[in-house]
Chain A
Amino acid sequence: MKTALRAGAIAIYGAVFGFPLYWVITMAFKPKVEENPPGITVWYPHAPTLKNFKDVLGISDPGASIFAQQDFSALTPLKNSFLAAGGGTLLALVVGVFAAYGIARFRAGGSQLPFQILQLRMFPPAAVVIPLYFMFVYLHLWNTLEGLIIIYGAVTFPFVVWLMRSFFQDVPREISEAAIVDGCTQWGAFFKAVLPMVKGGLAATALFVFILNWSDYLIVLVMTQDKWTTAPLFLSTMSGGAGGQEYAHQAALAVLLILPPAILGLSIQKYLVRGLTFGAIKR
């Protein structure tokens, strides 16, 4: 009885929380006529098709622009997303991992530095990008890949510091001390003794940061225009000829956008809680 109740409650939860995903996935396979017919709700694709994916990726007709006000298929923004998110992740990692080690091992910057760093993540990016916009226009970094990478790196850097600090704290001091006794320099001890011990945490942090950057919408909205548009922004600006809806095409791109974070996220399930709480809850 109790088990049945529990199972029932889980099923209801599952149905409610699963429905939005069910809808977007099935929408991606719906032909144009089933997309959003007035007055009727089409609950599942009656004639499923792959056309939406082919259109979105420019496979059906590479030269043509099928969406109003767009010169290219979603392939370019998807590529931009990968480049910007990947570059930003690399920058945040390189800078953040060193800082995290400096703070965890040497208490560099005093006790206030970690606070200041995390504080950056509490500020609404919508406020922070306003002055950044001037600066980037002035430095000719606006609407460039380098510009995007720098901002992505800076925005996710606090995250890397806090998460990696929690991993470095788990490494006993004796490890690096022993390496130094064995003739390593501080740098050598860091690279040869400490870093290999946090391999798992480092990989998880990298994937986390990639997902964060991949998910950005606001920064790219303010800091770029067509050429460096990333996929989430492209998705929201897709529209048909006379302002017609493009739900099925958008849904196809939405599915493509959900896939990488879903796969990466589930592959780091073990570190998910730790990552999402800035290393506060270690499990």
Chain B
Amino acid sequence: MSSEPLAPNTGPARKRRAGVSRSDKIGAVFVLPGQLLMTFIVLFPAIVAIYIGFTEWTPINGTTFWSAYKNWHWFSGYTEAFTSREFWDATWRTVLITVVCTVAEGILGFALAMLLVKDFKGRGLVMVYFLLPMMVVPAVSGFIFQMLFQVDGPINGLLSFIVPGDVKLQWLSDPSLAIWGVMIADIWQWTPLMFLIFLSGLVALPEDQMNAARILGAGFFPQFTRLIIPMMRPILLIAVIIRAMEVFKLFDPVYVMTQGGPGTATQNLSIYFYRLTNVSGRWGYACAVALLVLIALSIVAKQAIKPIERAQNESMEELMAAGADEAPAERIEDAIDAEARA
């Protein structure tokens, strides 16, 4: 469009003109199988879910799903969801589990990463040891904690050594304890993930800056708050997003340990969906609720993916430089000032 001379590589304008339609076509061929698979697995189910969501359909009385229109009730499922105590309880429980687990895993993982950042003999082996919980099939970790949390089980046994008397906590059958049991299992399994991500960030911290701060007299705490945390910020953010996203979907270990019980004490959204269909047989209502949650999530997801996408195009060093908004020299000065004030 412009009258600029056709110098090589003058940005997007040139690319758009030169043979782009052809490379567009090739690109389209490459992504076609993926798009077909996505359509198959998303489009059809989405249409069915919208349709069934307007009905009170259940397979229990033998009607096929295409005759669900016989039980048509428009938005009743949606209005029921908004006023359903059980749905909101499940939602807030999911949020609670997500926040507690993500924060606990983040803190524990960061502390462990700080402990292991300095090299020592056998560090590689110690690292492998700490990564193991992450490799356990989640349903199996549910089974492991089901064993551990028995009334006569080893966790009460260990507590009996520490606390006077015979500890007989009903970990999984006491409604107020069960949710903690479920969260402990998740924290055990996924702290290693946080640890691994943070460690990869900590070892990549620019050594010259850390050394400079130390030599110029900044103690551990100012170094930590003024240097390490700002530079680690983008990495912290990505780790938290990824972990929160997974905890939100949590199902397997919870289902194995408590099936959402006792009562509804550990019923998060995933368990709620499962129980609606496979226990209560309320497929129509389940579709309506699922759609509501998916719509809400897709708004959140859009924001959550951005930092991940941005990071994909950057190296670790760029990531860290972007996290701290000051120049390295200012940061070091800051750390020293903070030390002097303390």
Contacts and interface: CB of A to CB of B under 8 A. Distances in A.
A107 B27 contact: yes
A132 B33 CA distance: 19
A235 B146 CA distance: 13
B27 A127 contact: no
A157 B38 CA distance: 9
A127 B273 contact: yes
A36 B31 contact: no
A209 interface: no
B147 A214 contact: no
Nearest to A22: B154
A191 interface: no
Given A10-B126, A269-B128, A281-B235, A130 B283 contact: yes
Contacts of A151: 41
B140 interface: yes
Contact of B148 (A23, A121, A272): A23
B238 interface: yes
B172 interface: no
Interface in A124-165: 124-128, 130-135, 138, 150-151, 153-154, 157, 161-162, 165
A217 B251 contact: yes
Contact of B271 (A18, A126, A258): A126
Contact of B312 (A39, A122, A280): A280
Contacts of B157: 41, 43
Contacts of B313: 169
B312 A17 contact: no
Contacts of B287: 130-131
Contact of A10 (B52, B115, B134, B277): B115
Main secondary structure, interface of B, reads helix
A122 B44 CA distance: 19
Contacts of B312: 162, 165-166, 169, 278-280
A14 B116 CA distance: 12
Nearest to A115: B305
Contacts of A128: 45, 290, 294
Nearest to B197: A273
Interface string A82-110: 00000000010011101101110111110
7 contacts: A14-B126, A96-B34, A108-B27, A122-B245, A131-B46, A218-B252, A272-B196
Given A101-B30, A107-B27, A280-B309, 18 more contacts: A9-B115, A20-B133, A20-B148, A99-B31, A109-B27, A118-B301, A123-B249, A123-B294, A124-B251, A131-B45, A154-B40, A232-B252, A262-B136, A277-B238, A277-B242, A277-B308, A279-B312, A282-B315
Interface of B: 23-24, 26-31, 33-35, 37-38, 40-42, 44-46, 48-49, 52, 65, 112, 115-116, 118, 126, 128-145, 147-148, 150, 152-154, 157-158, 188, 191-193, 196-197, 200-201, 204, 235, 238-239, 242, 245, 248-249, 251-252, 255-256, 269-271, 273-274, 277-278, 283, 286-287, 290, 293-294, 297-298, 300-302, 304-305, 307-309, 311-313, 315-316, 319
